[in-house]
């Protein structure tokens, strides 16, 4: 079965065309059903395709030499949505010329363009940025929001929980993912009013394809005890960067320790299989591909510094969400929430 093609913003990211095309080619070698709309400078894309001849028949090029800058404000980028590689990739999804868009460009600009072009699903007030992170358990954990919304009320948090659970069911295969709200403690009295109201609504809801059991603290995010962690974008972005920083700290500390003396170097050789496994587990490229959940279409954000393997993972995420019809799953779950007729703080599944 052929999937809808994926629009790739070939100009985004730290290294642009070369890595984006190489990543798409790597994804296609793993899954030969993938088709692509490569958006960017035609001459540079054709040059990159010369080293990946298997991509030629699977790709169409949409020429564009205008690029959204990494430091460009979303309001500025929106004005050039019809002329930039990022904007054209997102608009290809809106027009039905592609099933999903992948970009490694400016996150704020990509969110703004995606929300304006695709709009949110009925019953969703705000889209949220969700990403996979490694854990000590059998499954990765999904965390959202990671920066799309600096503030979120109880209604938003309930919607995030539903969207995150739908995403988790696709990537983990779990029928009822374990969902928790990020808080400063696990007691029912802890946290803001929004957190406590959202927890009460999720606890009272019936018919949802998730398992909710209150709060989780940040030190438990990667323990494998939860499948979906829900929070506002401000707290989520801080938590994500703290986790990434701790991972880099550990790897740098190990590197320093293993090179401090001859005995340490010998110890490194003995323990190398374990350290290589740790390095692989903590490599962000192996979990690359954050998703804007809640839109009328699939948009995946690749990390700007991702290598070809990372871009390939982002492309694979986009394809999997298309194949498993993420938007329909979210809509179905929202309908189930509406049927529950929750009255605490309003009906969070209904559109305003």
State pLDDT tens for residues 299-341. 999 988 888 889 998 999 898 898 888 888 888 888 777 655 4
Question: Does residue 263 surpass a pLDDT of 90?
Answer: no
Dist. CA 7–CA 165, nearest whole Å: 26
Dist. CA 25–CA 17, nearest whole Å: 12
- Return the pLDDT at 347: 47
Q: Does the domain formed by 122-296+308-352 have CATH 3.40.718.10? A: yes
Residue 117 CA, distance from chain mean position: 19
Strands 59-63 and 141-144: unpaired
Helix residue spans in the chain (DSSP H): 17-30, 42-49, 74-78, 85-95, 107-118, 154-172, 193-204, 233-258, 262-282, 308-323, 326-340
Q: For 310, which DSSP code?
A: H
Q: 120, 94 in Cβ contact below 8 A?
A: no
Dist. CA 343–CA 132, nearest whole Å: 32
Length of the chain: 352
Return the H-helix or E-strand segment holding 230.
Answer: strand 228-230
- Return the pLDDT at 343: 39
Sheet hosting strand 290-293, strand order edge to edge? 59-63, 36-40, 6-9, 100-103, 298-301, 290-293, 128-133, 141-144, 228-230, 178-182, 211-216
Average pLDDT of span 97-118 = 92
Strands 290-293 and 128-133: antiparallel
- Return the pLDDT at 333: 82
Look over the chain and give the mean of its residue pLDDT values, rounded to a whole number.
84
- Confidence grade of residue 30 (pLDDT, cut at 50, 70, 90): confident
Neighbours of 264 (CB within 10 A): 12
Which tens digits make up the pLDDT trace of 174-206? 889 999 999 999 898 888 999 999 999 998 887
Q: For 39, which DSSP code?
A: E
* Residue of 90, 74, 93 whose CA lies nearest to 82: 90
pTM of the predicted structure, to 2 decimals: 0.83
Which tens digits make up the pLDDT trace of 129-143? 998 888 888 888 999
**CATH fourth-level superfamily of 1-118:** Isopropylmalate Dehydrogenase (3.40.718.10)
Question: Does residue 1 surpass a pLDDT of 50?
Answer: no
Residues with Cβ within 8 Å of 115's Cβ and at least 6 positions away in sequence, in order, are 127, 292, 295
Beta bridge partners of 211: 178
139 compared with 253, residue with greater pLDDT: 139
Average pLDDT of span 108-124 = 91
The residues of the chain that CATH labels 3.40.718.10 are 1-118, 122-296+308-352
* Residue of 351, 210, 340 whose CA lies nearest to 294: 351
Neighbours of 108 (CB within 10 A): 16
Query: What separation, in Å, do the N-terminal and C-terminal C-alpha atoms of the chain show?
Result: 39
Q: For residue 24, what are its two tokens? A: 């798409």
Strands 178-182 and 290-293: unpaired
Percent of the chain with pLDDT over 90: 41
- Return the pLDDT at 206: 78
The residue whose two tokens read 């979120």 is: 152
- Confidence grade of residue 86 (pLDDT, cut at 50, 70, 90): very high
- Helix%, strand%, coil% for the chain, nearest 5: 50, 15, 35
Which tens digits make up the pLDDT trace of 273-304? 555 555 555 566 677 888 999 999 999 999 88
């Amino acid at each position: 079965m052929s999937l809808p093609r994926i629009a790739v913003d070939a100009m985004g990211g730290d290294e642009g065309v070369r890595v984006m095309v190489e990543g798409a080619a790597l994804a296609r070698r793993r899954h030969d059903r993938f088709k692509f709309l490569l958006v960017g400078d035609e001459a540079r894309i054709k040059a990159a395709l010369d080293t990946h001849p298997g991509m030629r028949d699977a790709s169409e090029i949409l020429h564009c030499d205008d690029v959204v800058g990494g430091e460009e404000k979303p309001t500025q980028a929106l004005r050039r949505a019809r002329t930039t590689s990022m904007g054209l990739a997102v608009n290809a999804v809106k027009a039905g010329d592609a099933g999903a868009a992948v970009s490694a460009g400016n996150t704020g600009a990509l969110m703004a363009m995606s929300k304006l072009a695709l709009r949110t699903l009925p019953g969703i007030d705000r889209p949220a940025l969700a990403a996979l992170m490694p854990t000590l358990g059998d499954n990765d954990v999904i965390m959202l929001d990671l920066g799309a919304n600096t503030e979120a009320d109880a209604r938003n948090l309930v919607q995030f929980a539903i969207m995150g659970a739908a995403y988790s069911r696709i990537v983990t295969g779990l029928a009822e993912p374990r969902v928790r709200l990020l808080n400063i403690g696990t007691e029912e009295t802890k946290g803001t009013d929004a957190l406590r109201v959202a927890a009460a609504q999720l606890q009272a809801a019936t018919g949802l394809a998730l398992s909710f059991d209150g709060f989780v603290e940040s030190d438990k995010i990667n323990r494998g005890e939860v499948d979906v962690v829900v929070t506002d974008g401000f707290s989520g972005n801080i938590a994500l960067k703290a986790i990434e920083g701790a991972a880099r700290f550990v790897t740098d500390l190990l590197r320093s320790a293993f090179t401090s003396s001859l005995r340490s170097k010998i110890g490194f050789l003995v323990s190398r299989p374990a350290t290589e496994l740790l390095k692989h587990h903590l490599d962000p490229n192996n979990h690359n591909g954050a998703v804007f959940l809640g839109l009328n279409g699939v948009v995946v954000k690749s990390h700007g510094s991702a290598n070809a393997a990372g871009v390939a993972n982002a492309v694979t995420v986009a394809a999997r969400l298309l194949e498993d019809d993420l938007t329909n799953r979210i809509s179905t779950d929202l309908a189930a929430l509406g049927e529950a007729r929750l009255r605490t703080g309003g009906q969070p599944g209904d559109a305003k």
